[in-house]
Structure 1
Amino acid sequence: MATNVKYYCMAFLKDGTPSVRIFANTKDIEKNNEKYIAELKQKVKKMTEEELFVVDIISASDYDLYVNGDGTNTYVRDMETGKPKIYIPPEPTKEELQAQALANLESEYNAQKEGFKKDLDTANLAGNTEAIKSIQEEYMEFNAAYEEAKNEILKDE
């Protein structure tokens, strides 16, 4: 990142996620102007309603990692070291996995259902009562299999 800014004042959430930030004056930071730094941190805190865990002065290179990542990874603050670390998402909960499985099943169900509708419309237009009956029976079996699959996803293990 090409910039003439050397330092930022950035706020972080409890999990290390970066929040609001502003430029910091290089001279005041390098001279460790405590009054300026304290006022700058207060200014950042007032920029959001989020519950901030820490507000700190960071380098432009750290800022770039937090905001842009490295092209492959995203970064959060390591609360022990105060440095950027690669964000590793938490394992999905049972509820999240269940919701994802239900969404996938629902999507598959709706696509198949549309196929049945088209086949039934074609059979109706052709007046093919044998095909209509066959499609209806197949659709009933399909619905039963869908309900069984849905119940399997929802049951507690």
Structure 2
Amino acid sequence: MMFLAVLALAAATPAAKPAPIDGDATRGVSGLPVPRFVSLKSDKAYLRTGPGDRYPVSWVYVRKGLPVEVIREYGIWRQIRDIGGSVGWMNKQLIAGTRTAVVTGQVRTMFAGADLQSNPVWRIEPGALVRVVLCDQAWCRVDRGGKSGYILRSQLWGVQPGETIG
């Protein structure tokens, strides 16, 4: 199962020299914490080599809801990192605050409660995209297609260690 649907593009023009990043850009001009996780707003989102439309496109993401990590802000541009480690710049209009995560590793068991002794409710494939409902301590409650349950935080990519959600 392919969990990261992307299309690499060759730059049609030589790479533009990146704009200098000043200290204000790393503080989160939006007022939101950096780093933080967000998700892609549409089925087509461009990742650029620098913070502006004049920079070449390095990736085209084709999976709405894919989680990405905002690691820097510069005006309307967000420098993001994806699950594969690719880093680039994306216009803030292409991302949403909806919390999603990707199941990592192997087939995982979802539980009825936040406890390994709780009843297993279903199993989920690695690479599956889930909506994060809440996270507290070691567990996150997630939903996929109307099925919900608890999964260990360490089995997800898209939530910060120790982050409380919900």
Q: TM-score per shorter chain, which class?
A: under 0.3
Name the structure with the higher helix share.
1
Name the structure with the higher strand share.
2
User: What TM-score does the superposition give when structure 2 sets the normalisation length?
Assistant: 0.21
User: What TM-score does the superposition give when structure 1 sets the normalisation length?
Assistant: 0.21
